[in-house]
Chain A
């Protein structure tokens, strides 16, 4: 049994409760007139800093060839085994010999740790700044090679979110 002794004796001033109440209300009242910190999300987007670990993409060369050579370094480094690659001979004459015929990422399994982009020798796989990609079915969240290339087209200029109104709330 624990020792239950009372050593705290409130004074008369304490027992009134009102001073404590007003002291707290003064703090909250001061914030009533200050700038609001809420980001009105769907209208104004929070723009993540460079290097944010969001949705993946597969990079391309300027002439349209896929950078990936299907070496499977990323799927070896992945701690959750969410990357599945089937290699095949490259359809382009110049450059690398192999390219991914299939490149599937299970986005629901992925933990966005960034090990894949660190492991990639060709800088082909990269994590982008996209953070809102929830969906209604499991199948839609299984992204394939063409989907990853589409993400590249969307984010190559780094203005996926800045097309909408820029958030001025992020202060750091």
Chain B
């Protein structure tokens, strides 16, 4: 039997890739939509660009039930503690998409009250540029995140070694 035949006929997998496959196809987003990008995220949810095709239609407004935080819109200084709180409430493993110019870098609002990029406070996995991005851009970011999730290793989650 050829090697290719084995590959296409026999289901062989490791636990790691099976779990990653499950995780990447059932990302439950928690939309932190504050402004214009939130509207475009709603458009991505609607009929034309249906993100449920990627298993991400289960929108949860509770951070404890979700594993993907989509920050859509500008974050002001007053709002940042809320965002950090929500990020910390999410269970591991968790990923963050920073959608749009305002969330990624402050965008057009270079003022005292707007956070100049949320990655100063929380880690960001995928940046989607645009002001606001097209719904297709959101899907593109989601696909990039799925590729990222696919490559994750269990060892990444190992607890840090302690000196006790």
Q: Which residues of A pack against B, CB within 8 Å?
A: 37-42, 45-46, 79-81, 106-113, 131-138, 141, 169
Contacts and interface: CB of A to CB of B under 8 A. Distances in A.
Contacts of B144: 134-136
Q: Choose among A37, A40, A45, A108 the residue with the greatest number of B CB atoms under 10 Å from its CB.
A: A108
B114 to A, nearest CB: 12
Contacts, number: 86
B127 A111 contact: no
B127 A108 contact: yes
Contacts of A132: 134, 136-137, 139-140
Contact of A108 (B49, B101, B125): B101
A81 B108 CA distance: 9
Given A110-B101, A132-B140, A138-B119, A38 B49 contact: yes
A80 B133 CA distance: 17
A78 to B, nearest CB: 10
Given A37-B47, A110-B101, A131 B136 contact: yes
Given A131-B130, A134-B129, A41 B136 contact: yes
Interface of A is mostly: loop
B49 A141 contact: no
Interface string B134-146: 1011011101100
10 contacts: A40-B53, A80-B107, A108-B104, A131-B133, A134-B126, A134-B133, A135-B126, A135-B144, A138-B119, A169-B48
Q: Choose among A39, A41, A112 the residue with the greatest number of B CB atoms under 10 Å from its CB.
A: A41
B150 interface: no
A136 B127 contact: yes
Nearest to A143: B129
Contacts of A137: 127
A136 B119 CA distance: 12
A133 B47 contact: no
Contacts of A41: 49, 136, 139-140
A37 B141 CA distance: 22
Contact of B129 (A39, A108, A169): A108
B126 to A, nearest CB: 6
A109 B148 CA distance: 24
A131 B137 contact: yes
A170 to B, nearest CB: 9
B105 A106 contact: yes
Interface string B14-58: 000000000000000000000000000000000111100100000
